[in-house]
């Protein structure tokens, strides 16, 4: 699908799903479609990688360092 125009790619995906017997149908529905103010083109959503940071675990490690040593950070805060 890379390099295809989005509407052509959608049609191809629909055909592929139908061939694999995974097509669940198509129904009309109302929705707001974002449009570019400059080009008046439809703005397509993009999938982006998501990530997670466990701040609780990170804070525990920082607290252990501050308690077990005389950290310059801890001394500066007092």
Q: Where are the domains of the chain?
A: 50-78
pLDDT over 90 (residue 70): no
- In sequence order, the β-bridge partners of residue 35 are 42
Q: What is the mean pLDDT of residues 53-61?
A: 87
- Comparison of pLDDT for 71 and 16, the residue scoring more: 16
Q: Kindly report the backbone phi and psi dihedral angles of residue 67, in degrees, each rounded to the nearest multiple of 5, phi listed first.
A: -75, -40
Residue 20, pLDDT > 90, answer yes
């Amino acid at each position: 699908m890379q390099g295809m125009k989005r509407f052509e790619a959608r049609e191809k995906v629909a055909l592929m799903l139908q061939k694999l017997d995974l097509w669940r149908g198509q129904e009309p529905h109302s929705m707001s479609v974002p449009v570019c103010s400059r080009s008046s083109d439809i703005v397509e959503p993009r999938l982006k990688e998501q990530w997670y940071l466990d701040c609780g675990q990170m804070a525990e490690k920082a607290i252990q360092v501050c308690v077990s040593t005389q950290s310059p950070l801890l001394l500066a805060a007092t």
